[in-house]
Structure 1
């Protein structure tokens, strides 16, 4: 019987993939982020990405208002991101409407 329990744990439901940031470009106060996620429709899709400073403070959030089932990866932009004076790096993370914010941070080294 204990083997049946172990088998059930091994074959339990798999967690969905987190959104993956593939690329970020910065031009002035505009961030363009390319991300991929196995969107299935309104029930499960990447629904936002966020720019964070080195201390984890939010500098801006780009809400994604619909699934991108047939457009993967996809790029969306956010303007008006104010980078703190002297910052040399920021991070971007993505979110899906089922699993929440990804633990993975995409590092963006800022130019001079």
Structure 2
């Protein structure tokens, strides 16, 4: 009985330790397309060691050169078995004077801080 409890506790500790030490969410690829209606579509690929509802990549953002958030794509559920994963966001308005944007991702524990991706917009 004691061995079973100790084994269970060790497994529980290892799960929480793995969640706590998983790296931040990284952008591994991003592409921007200009739509016919003069807005932009972004296809963004995120990599993160999602561990379930308690720890997962929960959004990505398109940032202007002055760190202004131009668009946010909320990720509504973990992707434990789908890594990396790609999601899109359409109808993004980008000011005409903005030539380069950055895309960054966030996870539910660490926030922002992983690898970002820069895109030169082709107008």
TM-score, L = length of structure 1? 0.83
1:86 aligns with 2:97: yes
Larger Rg: 2
Between the aligned partners of 2:49 and 2:115, the Cα distance in structure 1 is: 16
- Any conservation in 1 of the 2:61–2:105 contact (CA below 8 Å)? yes
Taking only aligned residues, the RMSD between alpha carbons, in angstroms, comes to 1.4
What is the number of residues matched between the two proteins?
A: 100
Which runs of at least 4 in structure 1 moved beyond 4 Å after TM superposition?
none
- Secondary structure, in 3 states, of the residue corresponding to 1:80? strand
Counterpart of 1:97 in structure 2 is: 108
Deviation per CA, 1:46-83: give whole Å up to 9, x if none: 00000000000011100000000000000000112111
Structure 1: 5+ residue stretches without partners:
1-12
Query: Alpha-carbon deviations, 1:25-55, whole Å to 9, x = none?
Result: 1111110100100001011000000000000
Cα offset, 1:103, TM superposition: 5.4
Cα distance in 1, alignment partners of residues 27 and 110 from structure 2: 15
1:60 is the counterpart of 2:71: yes
TM-score normalised according to structure 2 size: 0.76
Q: Report 1:1-112 matches (<5 A).
A: 15-28=21-34, 29-102=40-113, 104-112=115-123
